[in-house]
Structure 1
């Protein structure tokens, strides 16, 4: 059997088609385009996105907008939210108001970004401060709240980055 020789035309065809074949292999925005640079380090971006999600939830809580609050949650949390959010002890119960809410700390935790917040809950003339710990994770190109629990992290001492 005689050895096969490739023609220069075949080599050119492979080189011409190679970029098209590799177009889907690189990092991108999920729509075929390059990912938009944020100008931030991954940890800094994670903290900023987590803070944004929790702040949007706190704003929805203060505005009594359950739909806006639900939209900040990861899909697995939404069914539980729907069942409990407007119930007697839910975050969006009719007899509660939230006159104040503030994020006190954002840090990396074992299950994602941990965002600590303190909310003031009012029922009639009674008010109480409640500490909450939100866990925020990345799902694809987006961020969502994956957990909410009582408590929170103490803010770092002043002067600590």
Structure 2
């Protein structure tokens, strides 16, 4: 019985330090921003806004190449097939009159950027919500998803 307790104690003593280092409870003298592979929330927010705004700007001027360059590599092929099609973001039959980023927040797959795009077709005008997901691909940020909808703007903090 005494041998089992010693083995259990030895196992516990050898694994706990690794678990504590993995959790950041010990050996965490670096700030999260200094640790490789981790970006601070401010960078994620700024890069997400930057990527989506560049995509929206490309939609306004119908610059397919500039729009494609904001997307993650995995989306390039589907973008090439659909971008200028009847339902594509760069279709010729409508004009993007105005764009606005309304909210940015963390989501389960990356930063979720809510936008409102004002589209005109002939004399008809409509606002459409689009929700973009922005993630890191290697060392850079890119749009990894787009779908209809979006979040309501987050309430402003009360002083």
Match of 1:50 in 2: 48
Cα separation, 2, equivalents of 1:135 and 1:45: 15
Mapping of residues 19-58 of structure 1, within 5 Å: 42-58=40-56
* Cα distance per residue 1:30-78 (max 9 Å; x no partner): xxxxxx9xxxx70111010000000000000001101100000001111
Match of 1:7 in 2: none
Cα separation, 2, equivalents of 1:80 and 1:69: 13
3-state SS of paired residue (2:44):
helix
Cα separation, 2, equivalents of 1:77 and 1:67: 13
Shift of 1:96: 1.0
Shift of 1:140: 1.3
Distance 1:160 1:48, change over 3 A: farther
Shift of 1:158: 2.6
Structure 1 unaligned runs (5+)?
1-35
Match of 1:141 in 2: 139
Match of 1:130 in 2: 128
Aligned-residue CA RMSD in angstroms? 1.8
3-state SS of paired residue (1:61):
helix
3-state SS of paired residue (2:131):
strand
Match of 2:67 in 1: 69
| Superposition TM-score, scaled by structure 2 size | 0.74
3-state SS of paired residue (2:87):
coil
Match of 1:8 in 2: none
Matched residue pairs, number?
Answer: 123
Cα separation, 2, equivalents of 1:104 and 1:79: 28
Cα separation, 2, equivalents of 1:76 and 1:109: 19
